[in-house]
A = this chain, B = another copy of it.
Amino acid sequence: MGAFVIGMGKTRFGPTSKPMFELAQEAALDALRDASLQPDEVDAIIVANFLGGPNEGQLHLNSVLAGIFPGVHVPSWRTEAACASGGVAVHQAVLALARYRRVLVIGVERLSGVVGTQLARNIGMAGDAILDVAEGVSFPAAYALVAQSHMMRFGTTTRDLELVSLKNHANANLNPKAHFYLKKVTQGDIDQGPMVASPLRLFDCCPISDGAAALVVSSERSRDDDIEIRGSALASDVISLSQREDTTSFAATKEAAGRAYAEAGITPGEVDLAEVHDCFTIAEIVAMEDLGLCRPGEAVDAIRAGDSGINGRLPVNPSGGLKAGGHAIGATGVSQICEIVLQLRGAAGLRQVPGARVGVAHSVGGVGGTSAVHVLGAVR
């Protein structure tokens, strides 16, 4: 059975005063419009959201969003797998096609409006409350450990991290829906950014964003510019770095990528572009390796050579990624696939990757505790 993205919609990522409902509604109705569907033509709704409870006092979000479709009584649920919630929801949509013809996936998150210390505590809920949080291993600290391991094993440098940041900010300047659209970021800004968790400085870290993204996934093609989901896979791992043998790569991503490529019948060499989960600059480097786009330790060679730029051999995060496009947690994995869809439709405007036919989206929860990998292909 085929799986096709027949509609997509996305709000701008970044701070806003709009409530969650409005953000979700805007993205959902955009996706329906893009698919030329009425609200009652959707057979199931999957909502991806991470912090609605702790941040907004709102769980049971599938029922809240049923208010977008009153009287329809459509099957719906919310899924949560930390920062991978969106990618997981898209996988669930693919599975749901066994029964439902058209599934609407809505990813949504509001992170602004919560006091900083409280928000840090809430985001920490994606790590182990006992093994990590109680020991002070926040996410910047955990990814700093990954960066240090990677530097020690492979000779990766802070300059390499800076190159990722510079590229993603440059890409975001071509994406009107990016959190940091038209924000000028120089090498000097990055160099002089305050240290967050050594070696990660401010500009190595993605922002926290509000936003929503939506997709209509269908078992049937309806138009020429529908995009096929050729592979969809998840994998998990123990939650804490302290439980792992290797801290330079994520086994869950390698496992999910292997499954997704096998399902799609492709090798990593056939990938034209990737949207990867760069919550920190080091995460983009690790992702390029875990996805098999580069060999372990060799992502930096591609980055130094400019290969991961929009016009390079292997464009990564043309949207600006989480780093500069923004990270509206529950929406992020959905938004990545929106970007791939735009690219494969040839509709990505100034940030269009020339001749893109096959794209990969990669969504991670925690420090690799959950990973979702999707392979999408143009069908024209």
Interface residues of A (CB under 8 A from B): 1, 44-45, 50-54, 56-60, 62-64, 66-67, 70, 73-82, 88, 91-92, 95-99, 121-122, 124-129, 133, 233-239, 243, 251-252, 255-256, 365-366, 369-370
**Chain B residues within an 8 Å CB radius of A77:** 79-81, 88, 92, 234, 370
- 9 contacts across the A-B interface (CB closer than 8 A): A51-B53, A51-B59, A67-B243, A73-B236, A77-B81, A77-B88, A78-B80, A80-B80, A97-B98
**Chain B residues within an 8 Å CB radius of A236:** 45, 62-63, 66, 73-76
Task: Report yes or no: A73 in contact with B121, Cβ–Cβ below 8 A.
Answer: no
How distant is the Cα of A321 from the Cα of B195 in the complex, in angstroms? 55
Q: Answer whether A63 and B125 are a contact pair too, CB < 8 Å, given A77-B88, A92-B92.
A: no
> A75 is contacted by which of B99, B121, B235 (Cβ under 8 Å)?
B235
Task: Report yes or no: A53 in contact with B54, Cβ–Cβ below 8 A.
Answer: yes
**Chain B residues within an 8 Å CB radius of A45:** 236
Task: Report yes or no: B81 in contact with A63, Cβ–Cβ below 8 A.
Answer: yes
Task: Report yes or no: A234 in contact with B75, Cβ–Cβ below 8 A.
Answer: yes
* Other A-B pairs, 9, CB within 8 Å; known A60-B126, A67-B238, A70-B243: A53-B125, A56-B129, A59-B126, A60-B239, A62-B236, A63-B369, A70-B238, A77-B80, A80-B80
Task: Report yes or no: A237 in contact with B66, Cβ–Cβ below 8 A.
Answer: yes
Task: Report yes or no: B57 in contact with A121, Cβ–Cβ below 8 A.
Answer: yes
Q: Answer whether A58 and B129 are a contact pair too, CB < 8 Å, given A76-B370, A92-B92, A239-B64.
A: yes
Closest to A67 in B: B238
Task: Report yes or no: B124 in contact with A73, Cβ–Cβ below 8 A.
Answer: no
Closest to A122 in B: B53
**Chain B residues within an 8 Å CB radius of A76:** 81, 234, 236, 370
Q: Answer whether A60 and B95 are a contact pair too, CB < 8 Å, given A236-B76, A251-B73, A252-B73.
A: no
Task: Report yes or no: A125 in contact with B59, Cβ–Cβ below 8 A.
Answer: yes
Task: Report yes or no: B75 in contact with A62, Cβ–Cβ below 8 A.
Answer: no
CB proximity of A169 to chain B, nearest CB, Å: 28
CB proximity of A28 to chain B, nearest CB, Å: 14
CB proximity of A19 to chain B, nearest CB, Å: 8
Closest to A235 in B: B73
Closest to A232 in B: B99
Task: Report yes or no: B50 in contact with A59, Cβ–Cβ below 8 A.
Answer: yes
